[in-house]
Amino acid sequence: MRRTALLASAALLTTLLPLTAAAPASGADDPAPVPVDRFEGEVPFASPPAEGVFTWGSDNDDPPALRLAARDDAPEGDQVLTGTYDISGYGGFTHTFAYAEPAHDWSAHKGIRFWWDGQSNGKQIAFELKDGGTNGEASELWTTSFTDDFSGWKQIELPFTDFTYRTDYQPVGGIDHILGLTETWGYAVTLPVGTKDQLAMDGVELYGKADQSLKASVRTDSAVYPTDEGGTATARLTVGTIGDTALDEPVTVTYETTGGTGDPGKDYTPVTGTVTFPAGTASGATREIRVPTLRDRSAEPAETIPLKLTVTGAKAPAETPQIVVDAHGLPYLDSELPVRKRVADLLSRLSLEEKAGQMTQAERGALTTSGDIATYALGSLLSGGGSTPTPNTAEAWAKMIDGFQLRAQATRFQIPLIYGVDAVHGHNNLAGATIMPHNIGLGASRNPQLAYQAGAVTAAETRATGIPWDFAPCLCVTRDDRWGRVYESFGEDPALVESMETVIQGLQGRPDGRDLDRGDKVLATAKHFVGDGGTEYGSSTTGTYTIDQGVTKVTRKQLEAVHLAPYETAVDRGVGTVMPSFSSLDLIGDDQGPVKMHARADMINGVLKDRMGFDGFVISDWQAIDQIPGDYASDVRTSVNAGLDMIMVPYAYRDFHGTLVDEVGAGRISERRIDDAVSRILTQKFRLGLFEKPYADTSGASEIGSAEHRAVARRAAAESQVLLKNAGGLLPLRKSQKVYVAGSNADDIGNQSGGWTVTWQGSSGDITPGTTVLEAMRKHAARLTYSKDASAPTGGHDVGVVVVGETPYAEGVGDVGNGHDLRLSPADQAAVDKVCGAMKCAVLIVAGRPQIVDDGTVAGIDALVASWLPGTEGDGVADVLYGKRPFTGQLPVSWPRSEAQLPINVGDTSYDPRFPYGWGLTTLTKVPEGGAATLKALGVAAAAAEKAGAQAAGRALVTKARLIVQQRAAGTGITEAVAGPFADADHLLVTGRYGAAVERLRAAYRAA
């Protein structure tokens, strides 16, 4: 959480460093400085596409707090840009020029300079330029830095020649890799992590005369050139100029092979020479340097041969390219050997440092340089929510990940990376992907086959972009609607969650892992182990969260029955990885109190690995080991000794790597534990076929967002709709009716998709291709009026449809009490009241969890639908509204009457929800007649079906009985006496006890 730092006095700062002493001299023939920012109010605080200064960060607390302030010691003018920061992940600020204006031409100048109020904290501060492209958010990024090792004001000069192309994070994936400066879109400042401090900046300006080397640059087509032993590697040099003009002067490149692990004369033929691009050479011209390698017939790990380049007359490449002679002849490379033998062979060859690298996972945007992949032998990278290439296309994803995989080829044993993303309802980071309903909607469908298909579509679209690992599914059993992750759960009943774990086979294929090397399958992750859905309200200590990452306090019996059961099923289904929860577990009676799950060896080693026999690997959650009490070394050894195999350390990968090596060296983590962890990781990499095919197989990319895939999502959206009330048979609608549509969520693809869509938190608006509920309804309705706020006249309409609910959020940001509640917004409530007061109406609640609707509102609504978060295919919602498909969805969670009832769940001793777990009216289906007599007969038949193992017949019989009870209860009212046995019946149905389910329904019928 951001904390305010105290400002030092201006008088003190001026006495520390006189302003005139810091100003560097300028050349006599230099052009006059050109102001960029004076911070006198001429540039507003505004976000793109408008021009302005805006802040950003990895979470809600990381953006700095900025303001313009008058200061007596301002180096230029009267005001300065000042603020405070306390950054845990990443954060900073940007000045981007308006999209409506032309880019700025800075090419005539030597560099950029500004005044910085030093805090002498010794931290590096990154400064970045936005160059080329169509606008500031689709430009190349070039970066340099300075060190805050001084006090008071100092003018910082950054020559443009010091800026390097950002290889760790490049939102456009590259335009021309040339710092042209003829189309500059602004600059950004990245503030240091882990330092609570203040900042002040003033007088940003361009200075000096451009260096000759800025007009031209030489780049290589790759940083790494793998080749088979005996093959010839070819490095291509390309010269580029600002504005793509011809060279004014010659450019020479002297090259030589030197250093590395390759042996000259034995492993390769040394080469040396000079390449010349004469004056007049066109921009984009290329030359080739060939490096022959030699065959020595011995099995060897990979060998590196740096190609040193010395450039005259142009800017040199940012790094020295490497020729790599591929590893060859070693047993682990033999795809015919069993995986266990390949793993054993490779493990025996790795150094401790290389093993530590395999256990390290970094955020792709946090890499200081892509060369760190080889330097630290990193085992994995991930994209956090919203960490995407720009343009956010399938092609750009594949190209980006292939670039990272190429870097791994420069390691001794060329172990490929395993790249992971949170594809939790489709490949949701990718714009244009098929976005499924969130898990809560799939749970409402009660259709395991549909969950399987949703997983299969997600896997195919994800793997087609080069990503082999999905941090899904969430197997949490949600127990409190105030939790910001409710929609990540299939429901409140562990039996329902278990039944939907068919999604694992959709993602991975067969349980034995034989399908993982297919181009349409990914490694799945069961998360969050264990008990994250049971955290108590008010127990969270994470920032402003109220329930997420809090404490789950249960007996061992409750833990086993409710929270552990889904993981037993996941292990049986062969799930490849498991992710522990941020939350703490407080087992009543074990006298330990709350213990962070990432530190619970009894649960990870003891229950998951030993008792359940889980043979995959355990991956930590985002920076989660930092929440374990103690210093960093303690966090590392506690989590690894507890059974974590790979640690997600998005920004601290270097610190983690070094600390892990030190802890093993000191004997506080055993080498046996390290070998177990690395064996598990390597096993999954071999199963995924990454050693044979490390690069993206994009053959399935054309199917991303295809009609076939969207048809699955459309069906899922339809089957997820739960009809809670349908007075007078208002639904389905008829095409001939004149319909009045209102509400905030009727025409918003972002709202109906929810969090974890394109970005971590999701956002309202037209964020990805799809069909809104309104657009889908227009295809059915002959006459339709739309008024978002219901301000248009309501007269003359046959029926109203009001689509209301939540706006997107994710995780603890969405906790009730953290800026959220469970009630409709005043605007939504007003729209419901106006429309339903004027005509017969149906209200659709698009939300990730139940919303509190009071008695009067429910009474005034003719039809009420829980739409959950249906994803991009609003056609599925319209399908049931207009009777193309019947309503068949059932509540995956109990729908409360008031927030005071929470938590409320099936099986509670006191249970009086507005709508019970399992409730869901249907349309287009005739309800059986005969009342009690028919129920009795259904009970006999259901018991017989159960005994015979006739699952389909048993489910059909219970469904008929449920429809009879619902019809009666809908007319008489859902009392506590009805709700309890009704909800129990659905739990029994899911567990296959059909006879007992009908008996409980008979009890509910009698109570009604």
**Which positions are annotated as active-site residues?**
621, 811
Contact 961, 1004 (CB under 8 A): no
Contacts of 929 (CB under 8 A, 6+ apart): none
Q: Which amino acid, 183? A: E
Spatial distance between the Cα atoms of 961 and 795, rounded to a whole number of angstroms: 41
Helix boundaries (H) for 302-393:
339-349, 352-358, 372-375
Contact 461, 696 (CB under 8 A): no
Spatial distance between the Cα atoms of 572 and 578, rounded to a whole number of angstroms: 13
Contact 158, 143 (CB under 8 A): no
Spatial distance between the Cα atoms of 691 and 713, rounded to a whole number of angstroms: 33
Contact 547, 494 (CB under 8 A): no
Helix (H) or strand (E) holding 487: none
Contacts of 682 (CB under 8 A, 6+ apart): 342, 343, 346, 347, 358, 415
Q: Dihedral of CA 562/564/569/573: which sign?
A: positive
Contacts of 843 (CB under 8 A, 6+ apart): 801, 802, 803, 804, 832, 836, 861, 863, 864, 865
Contact 774, 743 (CB under 8 A): no
Helix boundaries (H) for 573-622:
601
Q: Is 586 helix (H, G, I), strand (E, B) or coil?
A: strand
- 876: tokens are 């599925």
Spatial distance between the Cα atoms of 202 and 113, rounded to a whole number of angstroms: 10
251, 257, 259, 265 alpha-carbon torsion, rounded to 10°: -170
Helix (H) or strand (E) holding 21: helix 19-22
- Residue 249, CB half-sphere, CA atoms under 13 Å: how many? 11
Q: Is 963 helix (H, G, I), strand (E, B) or coil?
A: helix
Nearest Cα to 189, choosing from 85, 103, 38? 85
Spatial distance between the Cα atoms of 416 and 619, rounded to a whole number of angstroms: 17
- Residue 765, CB half-sphere, CA atoms under 13 Å: how many? 6
- Residue 889, CB half-sphere, CA atoms under 13 Å: how many? 35
Spatial distance between the Cα atoms of 623 and 611, rounded to a whole number of angstroms: 27
983, with CB counted inside 10 A (0-12, 13-18, 19+), is: buried
Dihedral class, residue 677 (left if φ above 0, else alpha if ψ from -120 to 50, else beta): alpha
Dihedral class, residue 427 (left if φ above 0, else alpha if ψ from -120 to 50, else beta): beta
State how far the alpha carbon of 373 is from the alpha carbons of 403, 563, 714, 986, in Å.
Answer: 11, 37, 41, 51
End-to-end, the C-alpha distance of the chain in Å comes to: 51
Contact 116, 17 (CB under 8 A): no
State how far the alpha carbon of 383 is from the alpha carbons of 362, 380, 466, 937, in Å.
Answer: 9, 10, 12, 56
